[in-house]
Amino acid sequence: MTMRIAPVVRKAKLKDIDEELEDMRYWLSRPPQERIAAVTRIIKMHLQPGQRMDKTHVVKRKLHA
């Protein structure tokens, strides 16, 4: 399975773009499993080999499918 990156172009004035809002809308449109996988991937990218995530402030909840 090969993943391809598709270019996306949208023209707008810089003062009219709210990237935070656009990012939030995108991620809220994705299923919870995909959001969790993305966060896990980002965390793994920033950890050193053998290092584990500090979970002292993590609250685990069950996902309702």
List, in order, residues 6 or more apart from 38 with CB less than 8 Å away. Answer: 27, 30
Which pTM value belongs to this model?
A: 0.54
| Cα–Cα distance for residue pair 48/30, rounded to 1 Å | 28
List of residues 6+ apart from 35 with CB closer than 8 A? 27
**Could you state, in chain order, the average pLDDT of each consecutive group of 10 residues for the chain (65 residues)?**
82 84 92 92 88 78 74
pLDDT at 65: 64
